[in-house]
Amino acid sequence: MTTLLANSKKVQFSGKAKEVVASAHFRLMVLLLVFLAAFTIIVGRLASFSILEDATPYRASSSAFVPARGDIVDRNGVALARTMRGYAVRVVPARLLGDKKTLARQLSSIFPDTSAAEFLQKLNGSRPTYLRRRALPEQVKQVHALGEIGIEFPREDERLYPQRDLAAHVLGYVDADGKGVMGVERALNDRLTDKNVRGAPATLSIDSRVQAALESELQDAMVMTEARGAAGIILDVETGEVMALASLPVFNPNKIRQESMKHQNNEVTQSVFELGSTFKPLTVAAALDAGTVSDLAVRYNAMEPIKVAGFTIKDDHSQDRYLNVPETLVHSSNIVTARIADNLGKEPMEDMFRRLGFDERPHIELVEKGHPIWPRSWGRVTNMTVAYGHGIAVTPLHLASAYAALVNGGIWRPATLLKVEPGKEAKGRRVFKAATSARMRQLLRMIVSDGTGRKADAAGFRVGGKTGSAEKPSEGGYNKTSLVSTFAAAFPMDNPRYVLITMLDEPKGTAHTSFQRTAGWTAAPVVKKVVPRVGPMLGVIPDEHRDVDVAELTPLLWKPKAKPEEENHAAE
């Protein structure tokens, strides 16, 4: 009986165990099915995302991924301007608890560029105000540690310029409300704030490496010559792209101060100058085009100054002989250039300058553009003086675009600060005949190899160009102590790719320039230093075994026979 009862209990327990195991199996199966369903959904979603990503370009679904203001980058993608969320330090004076004088001293120790007196004035104010519009996280942490409840730390959009003062006059800056004040920040303000396109950076034509080299050499020259300012531009002769644009002194767009405001004028696009003898090649080109100069060997009287309508035109360094056209440019004769312009006539000369855009503001995206000083009347005297760059004032950018047309085959194109894709350059307009442009390339090379531009000759780069030294206009005439020294260059002259303009404002003759202040001694050496630095960056490789063929013109240059002692010295 006992055995039977025990067997009955075992059977009951075994049945219950089977039920439990079956229930567990069922639950596991349900859980597995749920897991498989979830896994299938996740894989499906990932697959759909992958397909969509392959089919269409990525677009942020939320404005949180798009900057409040678009980035600005150079032609190689290097960041020049960027917006990020930064810290500000703000005070509510009514909520301050501690001693304000003590707090002002503490703030000044954290921000040494602001005095305790300035901080105290803000702390004593009646309204909430900013103590700093920009502050580093470490500085914010230090201020926070002061424990003053009346100081707040709002997060705001902050415009940063990672390259500091590099290309400051190109970039410009924004005001406290994030609106462009000058430079491309102002010119492209609508594009940089358009929510539909600001997610992609604005790409400039500037090459930051080339920009840095140009600024560096101009700064050195400005210091060595004790000049009040300097300017320069490198321009692609085929596309009009500005590879570098420098105006010195510079300013830091990250720190706009009242004392730096005076340096914000763009000397390349905004200021106008009489650029002197750099105009002479343009005059000769116009005469070649018109046919009034058909034989370069014809000699003109350079021995006697020209007296016309009460004015006297003379040469600074007279050769005291008759000069042909190559010699006129090599020795920079005002007298012969004026005679060539007189033979040409005022209509063709004026027309040439108008086609080069010398009667209107320079063509570029910037708002900061100066209007040329155009002659009130274009009579015979004016025609002769503008031929060598007096009586008309333009910007260095005007000159750069003109020289690009002079050497690229004769086509003038507007300058641009935006990167141009291959084949998308502006059509432009013809100013000079292609044959005239080819001849001018020879003549410009001769000026550097044999004339006033020798100090611009960078070995292997076949530099061509022209010096220009002009006295600044002053009340009642010209100021003989204030000079603008300019060199207009192009390279390589056998296949020109870039124009380079260097200018020094009021340089002084120093030991570095043999106490000379003219362009051949001040502006030309800058070209010689800049070209070897930027040439390889721009794809121009030096080759000392190549040069412009000027064999047919070389015999036209008269060279005095050296004295016996000079020959011996040369032999040494």
396 sits in the region (left: phi over 0; alpha: psi -120 to 50; else beta) called alpha
Which tokens sit at 57?
């370009």
Q: Give residue 65's pLDDT band: very low, low, confident or very high (50, 70, 90).
A: low
The rounded distance, in Å, linking the Cα atoms of 107 and 427 is 58
Q: What is the pLDDT of residue 416?
A: 98
The CA distance from 568 to 383, in Å, is 46
Task: With cut-offs at 50, 70 and 90, classify the pLDDT of residue 472.
Answer: confident
Q: Is the pLDDT of residue 542 over 80?
A: yes
CA-wise closest residue to 159 among 172, 150, 148: 172
Catalytic residue among 205, 208, 271, 277: 277
Exposed/middle/buried for 58, CB within 10 Å: 0-12, 13-18, 19+? exposed
pLDDT digits (tens, 9 = 90+) for 253-290: 998 877 777 889 999 999 999 999 999 999 999 999 99
Look at residue 329 and tell me whether its pLDDT is greater than 70: yes
Q: What is the pLDDT of residues 86-106, one digit of tens each?
A: 888 999 999 999 999 999 999
> For residue 398, what pLDDT is reported?
98
Q: Does an H or E element contain 246, and which?
A: strand 242-248
Amino acid (one-letter) located at 190: D
What pLDDT band is residue 162 in, cutting at 50, 70 and 90?
Answer: very high
What span, in angstroms and rounded, lies between the C-alpha atoms of 84 and 164?
Answer: 16
Average of pLDDT values for 45-58? 45
Phi and psi at 281, nearest 5°, equal -60, -35
Task: Identify the band that residue 3 occupies on the pLDDT scale cut at 50, 70 and 90.
Answer: low
| Threshold 0.75, pTM exceeds | yes
Residue 567 has pLDDT above 70, yes or no: no
Whether the predicted pLDDT of 50 surpasses 70: no
DSSP letter (8 states) at residue 418: B
User: Average pLDDT, stretch 169-189?
Assistant: 94
Q: Can you name the residues that pair with 487 across neighbouring β-strands?
A: 467, 502
Q: Which helix (H) or strand (E) holds 466?
A: strand 464-474
- What are the φ/ψ torsions at residue 537 (nearest 5 degrees)? -65, -30
pLDDT band at 17 (very low <50, low <70, confident <90, very high): low
Distance CA 356, CA 71 (A): 34
The Cα 156–Cα 134 span in angstroms is 9
Cβ 68 vs Cβ 194: under 8 Å: no
Mean pLDDT computed over 221-241: 97
Looking at residue 69, its pLDDT comes to 93
- Cα-atom radius of gyration of the chain, to the nearest Å? 35
Q: Which residue has the tokens 């155009």?
A: 374
318 an active-site residue? no
Kindly state the average pLDDT of the residues 546-558: 94
pLDDT band at 25 (very low <50, low <70, confident <90, very high): confident
What is the distance in angstroms between the CA of the first residue and the CA of the last residue of the chain?
140
Confidence category of residue 134, pLDDT binned at 50, 70, 90: confident
Residue 554 has pLDDT above 90, yes or no: yes
